[in-house]
Amino acid sequence: MFGVVPRNLWLRVCPPDDQNRIRMNLNCVFIDTGAERILIETGIGDKWSPKHSEMYGIDRKQPLRESLRSITGCGPEDITIVINTHLHFDHAGGNTVRNEAGEIVPAFPNARYFISRAEFEHAENPTERDRASYLADNWQSVKESGQLELKDADYEVVPGLRMETYAGHNRTMQCWRLDGNGQTIFGFADLVPMRAHIQLPWIMGYDLFPLETLEAKKRLLPQAAREGWMCVFYHDPDVPLCKLVEDNGKIRAEI
Ligand SMILES: [Zn+2]
């Protein structure tokens, strides 16, 4: 998760377990506009074999379906728009579920699923380097049911909510921004997956274009601090949402 950062440095921030795994969340976002009930990202899903669940250490204490119900009162049938910032399995895994017959079907039967056309095309033709991150089970049935809507690199989901493509993690991942009442909430997706990645050289080893991640961070993070954005860190296990401050030329989370 930290690319070229030495283990001795990152283990102080994210202590690994005996299998070298660190704690990570999958912080999905729910937005109710009155007309639309929008879900941004769907987590890792529950189609995993016991072997893979064990390997990734997937903790089922707060499955998406249950937290959605307990926090928002909505069931899967109430969601009208699902957005994936990109189609890696830890962001799109909950797009689909297995039904009682064991078939894989869309998890949100009444939703339109929005994904950038470029990311979709990349997901269907990944490179050897990122192939393991793309599992067609997470979008195939959505495509077949007619619920998939392919979008531009930058587009407006509903007034105030925009998706914007930032290169780095790959060349087609999108971040999202929600503007309203003079406040911006910005979802960094995997550009800045955890608070630890606010530091400029802390860039994931998974990134296909790490220097482009760096450039995007250098542009966005000072702006986020200056303009007081609430920042959403999709994988942060402790503080998914916070503002940033600039301290002697260095940006850090304000907690
Ligand atoms: Zn991710």
Confidence of residue 255 (pLDDT cuts 50, 70, 90): confident
pLDDT of residue 100: 96
CA of 235 from ligand 1 middle (Å) equals 7
CA of 131 from ligand 1 middle (Å) equals 14
Residue 173 has pLDDT above 90, yes or no: yes
CA of 158 from ligand 1 middle (Å) equals 24
- The three-point CA angle 159-225-205 to 5° equals 90
CA of 219 from ligand 1 middle (Å) equals 21
Residue-wise pLDDT tens digits, 29-65: 999 999 999 999 999 999 999 999 999 999 888 889 9
CA of 22 from ligand 1 middle (Å) equals 13
CA of 191 from ligand 1 middle (Å) equals 9
Give this prediction's pTM.
0.96
CA of 73 from ligand 1 middle (Å) equals 26
- CA-nearest of 26, 43, 55 to 93 is 43
Q: Which residues 6+ apart lie within 8 Å of 148 measured at CB? A: 113, 115, 120, 139, 142
CA of 145 from ligand 1 middle (Å) equals 26
Confidence of residue 249 (pLDDT cuts 50, 70, 90): confident
d(CA 190, CA 126): 17
